[in-house]
């Protein structure tokens, strides 16, 4: 085959790929570099000791199972995240290459514990290089499978220009291959925000049977999330531990929906329980809520002053409508509902073909 023929065949293949390409890629309004961030785990420690023969480790599949291990309290994971200059130049416009308004983060998700958190590895301006990380997984606070995934996100907004680079603060620009750590094979949850499955029809303390979930604040020191056994197909999807396919896609969308409601309620309760003079909270879990959302709600204020302002605003009749809109935006920042929903649509279309 001649060089000309090879070029023509390559162009045809590229055109075919464009025509039948991913709906996710086609739907994103900005450049996104998939799996372009290097993510390497160097060591697992259980209560400070090397993993050795404990657990089932598959480095090629980026998976660790501790299902058969008991009696431990803290799993510590150390490693590095690598960002290349080529990735930065793909997702930021040329006029920002010298000082990219990006933030490199490591996100930890645990759906069955309704838990998502992030560790900031590099504040803006982001630059190419290697960043070390250390993440702890407390056994008492997690359930099912915990996933770690690095992201490059846009840290501040900019005026939309002629480029197809993201302009909205919080937009995800790139990611890396995730690691999965399976802790157990849960049945019905338990503990802080770990869902307990109950039949809402059988208990007056729950809302009616049309509800999928309910967050109980009857014991404010320990909020409890319940899932409605009266919707068995929904519960089955939420318990799915898979990584690909229709059910996991649907699971992610459902958890986004549930978490949005849960975090909104927890944030409002935290605001009501926060002291307007000192910024101190009533319960330990409320400190974690403030850590998650204060930077979104009051980015110009230090933590203590931001907590005081939140407590003040929730008590103000005039400021309450604006605060609720800000809370809605802050909670929404934690999720990528358009991408998760598009993945679900893509999976459905592929199954129909």
- Window from 140-154, 180-194, 248-262 with minimum mean pLDDT: 180-194
Q: What is the pLDDT of residues 126-178, one digit of tens each?
A: 999 999 999 999 987 888 889 999 999 988 888 877 578 888 877 889 999 99
| pTM as predicted | 0.59
Does the pLDDT of residue 302 top 80, yes or no? yes
Contact 191, 143 (CB under 8 A): yes
The predicted pLDDT at position 27 comes to 43
* Alpha carbon distance 76, 48 (integer Å): 7
The predicted pLDDT at position 18 comes to 28
Residue 272: how many other CB atoms lie within 10 Å: 14
Where is 213: in which H helix or E strand?
strand 213-216
Higher pLDDT, 12 or 168: 168
* Alpha carbon distance 174, 32 (integer Å): 5
The predicted pLDDT at position 295 comes to 86
Does the pLDDT of residue 93 top 80, yes or no? yes
pLDDT band at 251 (very low <50, low <70, confident <90, very high): confident
Burial 106-126 (b: 16+ CB within 10 A, else e): bbbbbbbbbbbebbebbeebb
The predicted pLDDT at position 225 comes to 86
Percentages of the chain per state (helix, strand, coil), in multiples of 5? 35, 25, 40
Q: What is the pLDDT of residues 31-85, one digit of tens each?
A: 889 999 999 999 999 999 999 889 999 999 999 999 999 889 999 999 999 999 9
- Window from 25-39, 145-159, 237-251, 254-268 with minimum mean pLDDT: 237-251
Tell me how far the alpha carbon of residue 271 is from its chain's centroid: 23
Higher pLDDT, 255 or 120: 120
The predicted pLDDT at position 131 comes to 97
**Whose CA is closest to 206, among 187, 221, 227?**
227
Instruction: Compute the half-sphere exposure of residue 38: CA atoms within 13 Å on the CB side of its CA.
Output: 15
Q: What is the mean pLDDT of the chain?
A: 82
What HEC string does 216-263 produce? ECCCCCCCEEEEECCCHHHHHHHCCCCCCCHHHHHHHHHHHHHHHHHH
pLDDT band at 190 (very low <50, low <70, confident <90, very high): very low
The predicted pLDDT at position 352 comes to 60
Tell me how far the alpha carbon of residue 3 is from its chain's centroid: 46
pLDDT band at 296 (very low <50, low <70, confident <90, very high): confident
The predicted pLDDT at position 175 comes to 93
- Average pLDDT on 301-324 reads 92
């Amino acid at each position: 085959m001649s060089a000309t023929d090879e070029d023509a065949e390559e162009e045809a293949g590229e055109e075919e790929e464009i025509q039948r390409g991913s709906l996710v890629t086609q739907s994103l309004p900005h450049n996104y570099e998939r799996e372009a961030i290097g993510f390497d785990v160097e060591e697992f420690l259980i209560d400070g000791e090397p993993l050795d023969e404990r657990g089932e480790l598959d480095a090629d599949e980026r998976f660790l199972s501790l299902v058969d291990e008991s009696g431990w309290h803290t799993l510590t994971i150390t490693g590095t995240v690598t960002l290349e200059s080529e990735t930065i130049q793909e997702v930021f416009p040329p006029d920002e290459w010298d000082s990219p308004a990006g933030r490199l983060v490591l996100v930890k998700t645990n759906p069955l514990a309704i838990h998502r958190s992030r560790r900031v590895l590099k504040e803006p301006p982001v630059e190419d290089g290697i960043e070390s990380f250390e993440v702890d997984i407390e056994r008492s606070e997690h359930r099912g499978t915990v996933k770690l995934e690095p992201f490059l996100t846009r840290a501040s907004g900019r005026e939309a220009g002629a480029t197809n680079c993201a302009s909205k603060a919080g937009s995800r620009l790139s990611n890396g291959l995730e690691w999965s750590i399976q802790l157990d094979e849960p049945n019905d949850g338990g503990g802080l925000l770990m869902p307990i499955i109950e039949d809402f029809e059988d208990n007056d303390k729950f809302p009616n049977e049309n509800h999928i979930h309910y967050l109980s604040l009857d014991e404010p020191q320990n909020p409890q999330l319940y899932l409605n056994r009266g919707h068995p197909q929904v519960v089955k999807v939420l318990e799915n531990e898979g990584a690909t396919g229709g059910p996991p896609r649907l699971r992610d969308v459902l958890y986004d929906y549930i978490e949005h409601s849960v975090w909104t309620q927890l944030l409002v309760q935290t605001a009501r329980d926060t002291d307007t003079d000192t910024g101190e909270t009533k319960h330990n879990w409320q400190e974690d809520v403030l850590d998650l959302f204060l930077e979104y709600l009051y980015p110009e204020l230090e933590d203590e002053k931001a907590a005081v302002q939140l407590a003040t605003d929730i008590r103000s009749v005039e400021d309450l409508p604006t605060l609720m809109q800000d809370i809605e935006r802050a909670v929404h920042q934690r999720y990528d509902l358009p991408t998760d929903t598009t993945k679900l649509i893509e999976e459905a279309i592929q199954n129909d073909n």
